[in-house]
Amino acid sequence: MSFSLLTDQLKYDIIIAGAGCSGLSLLLRMLKSDKFHDKKILLIDRDQVKTNDRTWCFWEQSPGFFEHLVYRQWSHLGFYGERYEATLDISPYSYKMIRGVDFYAWCFAEINKYPQVDKLFGDIRGIEKINEKIIITVGDRQFDAGNAIVFNSILKEDKPSKREITVLQHFKGWVIETDKTIFNPSRATLMDFRVDQQYGTGFVYVLPLKEHAALVEYTLFTPSLLRDQQYDEMLNSYINQYINAGSFRVTEHESGVIPMTNRVFPFYENGVYHIGTAGGQTKASTGYTFRFIQKQSAEIVDALINGKSLTGIRPEPARFRFYDNTLLHILYHNSLPAKTIFSTLFRKNEVKRVLRFLDNESSCKDEWKIISSLPTWPFLRAAVAGNF
């Protein structure tokens, strides 16, 4: 590639590649801060998503930035594990659900109010540093990013290293409507491991939307995907056996794949800041992403407003990566069933401690109690193998 091929130079202060959760979260926080009114911003992606392609679920104690988009929330969660069943009172936390279709629609409606934001739709084929310039390739055109701060949320498919392991969190969900009023809208199911484990670690969660409608989602942590028919069979089996819905109608579908990996994702590399999953904001051991994206977005905007270097944003404490690597190693090698691990976590610890731990917000005292509650030898062997 040579610079003679360049067709244009982008005259922007900020460029965001990717209009998914992380790109839109960062952009909307900028626009709502009132500190970026004089900044020219470009948002790039293949197209504008207008469908309900995913649902984000997370827990938090207070109203968040996207609180107005929360579709449903619950303070009581059912857990069905290995020799342990409970209804967990997670207060002062609330377990919240945001639908993708609502998130995208609101974000783009807001973006359209700000004339300093341009949108460019096309296939992002590359973001490279060449001769000290950031070159962005969109479709068959190449652009010099100029002096813009460039944020990228497009996950690059690199060849894995020998020590890299990846477990896929893959799922398929149905929104079902029933003739009977069988759901309790005030109580959701966080994890139900009673589902057949024939394909590997699998569980179902159920999010009631009203008394006769719910999102029922079958989730697995395995190295490979299933055929579409297999997800459908497991959903049908679960609904008939444990929900006892009788006749029901499937009104919406969603599916997806989240990589849970011990790969190190740099925040800053070759002149580009990586955000979202591309910047390591998917928790390696669980796949949770939404809250980590929000925390990273808030830190970035705060640093820009206060004139601080973005490279000064600190990564999560190293001990959390150690914990993630250990659990990921166990899940990858199936050396201890996940239903045993999560059942032990919730049975032997107060739920708020577990939620803080899964959010990387726990204290060392919390972590010592959690580690002490888990089977010693499987975790000790995995800790050595997964981190050294």
Residue 278 DSSP symbol: G
- pLDDT for the residue 8: 65
Q: Matching CATH topology for 3-53+99-157+263-312 and 166-259? A: no
Residue 125, token pair as written in the block: 């084929």
Domain 166-259 grouped into CATH 3.30.9.10: yes
Q: Is the dihedral of CA 363, 364, 369, 371 positive or negative?
A: positive
pLDDT digits (tens, 9 = 90+) for 253-309: 999 999 899 999 999 999 999 999 999 999 988 989 999 999 999 999 999 999 999
- With contact defined as beta carbons under 8 Å apart, do 8 and 135 qualify? no
- pLDDT for the residue 156: 80
CB-based burial label for 233 (10 Å; 0-12, 13-18, 19+): middle
- pLDDT for the residue 274: 97
- pLDDT for the residue 275: 97
Name the strand (E) or helix (H) holding 236.
helix 228-238
Q: CA–CA separation, 368 vs 104, rounded Å?
A: 40
Strand-pair category, 70-74 with 94-99? antiparallel
Q: CA–CA separation, 165 vs 182, rounded Å?
A: 41
Q: In this structure, what are the phi and psi dihedrals at residue 310, rounded to the nearest 5 degrees?
A: -65, -30
Domain 3-53+99-157+263-312 grouped into CATH 3.30.160.340: no
pLDDT digits (tens, 9 = 90+) for 30-56: 999 989 999 999 999 998 887 777 899
- pLDDT for the residue 6: 43
Question: Cβ neighbours of residue 366 under 8 Å, at least 6 residues apart?
Answer: 353, 356, 357
Q: What is the pTM of this model?
A: 0.93
Q: CA–CA separation, 118 vs 333, rounded Å?
A: 46
- With contact defined as beta carbons under 8 Å apart, do 23 and 103 qualify? no
Burial readout 248-269 (b: 16 or more C-beta within 10 A, e: otherwise): beeebebbbebebbbeebebee
* Average model confidence (pLDDT) across the chain: 92
Can you list the residues of the chain whose pLDDT is less than 70? 1-8, 160, 388
- pLDDT for the residue 388: 65
Reported residue count of the chain is: 388
Closest CA to 171 of 214, 198, 205: 205
CB-based burial label for 197 (10 Å; 0-12, 13-18, 19+): middle
- What are the structural domain ranges in the chain? 3-53+99-157+263-312, 166-259, 318-387
Q: What is the dihedral of CA 260, 195, 76, 20, to 10 degrees?
A: 30
CB-based burial label for 128 (10 Å; 0-12, 13-18, 19+): middle
